[in-house]
Amino acid sequence: MTIPVRRGRASDGEFREFVAARMERWRATAFLLCRDWHTADDVVAETVARLYRHWRRVTGAANPDAYAARVLTNAWRDESKRSWRRREQSDEAMPVIATVGDPDVVEREALWQLLESLGERQRAVLVLRFYLDVSVEETAELLGISQGTVKSQAARGLATLRTAALARRLEGAI
C-alpha cells in the first residue's frame, strides 16, 4: 500500500533546493527577456509562486527544468501584457557601477543593447534557443507559435544582431 505524499516539510525542502539551484539562471533568463532587473525579479517571483502552487506537477514532470522554463516564459509573457508596464517610463538611466574599460562589462552591455533592439518575440526565441538551449519544438510550445515561426524568428533575429554588431564594429573602426 502506498501512502499519498502530502505537501509538507520534506516537499518544501525539496522545493527550496530546486529553486536555489536554479535561481540565478532564471533571473538571468528573465533579464534577457525583459531587459529590466526589477521586472526580471517580478517574473522570477511569479515563477517561484506558480511552481510552488503546482509542485506535484513539477516533480511529476518528465523534465522539471523544461516545466520551470515554460512557467517562467509564461510569467514573462503575462508580465509584458500588463498595460501599466507599457506606460512605465524611467526618468533617469541607472548609473554605471563598473569601470569604464572593463571588457566584460562593455561586451555584456553591447549584447544587452543588441537584444533590446529586437522585437519581443525574436528576443524570446533567441534567449530560449541559444541561451537556454531549448529545442525548436519546445520553444514553439513555450511561446505558443509554430515551429516554422520559431525558425524564421531565430533567423531574422540573428540576421538583425549580425547587422547591428557589424555596424558597431564599423563605427568603432572609424
pLDDT for 107-135, tens place per residue? 667 777 788 888 888 988 998 898 888 89
**Structural domain span for residue 21:** 9-86
Does residue 68 sit in the same domain as residue 105? no
Is 172 inside any structural domain?
yes
Distance, in Å, from the CA atom of 27 to the CA atom of 18, rounded to the nearest integer, reads 14
Question: Exposed e or buried b for every residue in 66-78, given b needs 16+ CB within 10 A?
Answer: bbbbbbbbbbbbe
Question: For all residues of the chain together, what is the average pLDDT?
Answer: 80
Residues 14 and 77 in one domain: yes
Residue 3 lies in a domain: no
**pLDDT digits 0-9 by tens, 50-93:** 999 999 999 999 999 989 999 999 999 888 877 554 445 554 54
Task: Measure the CA–CA gap between 132 and 172, rounded to whole angstroms.
Answer: 31
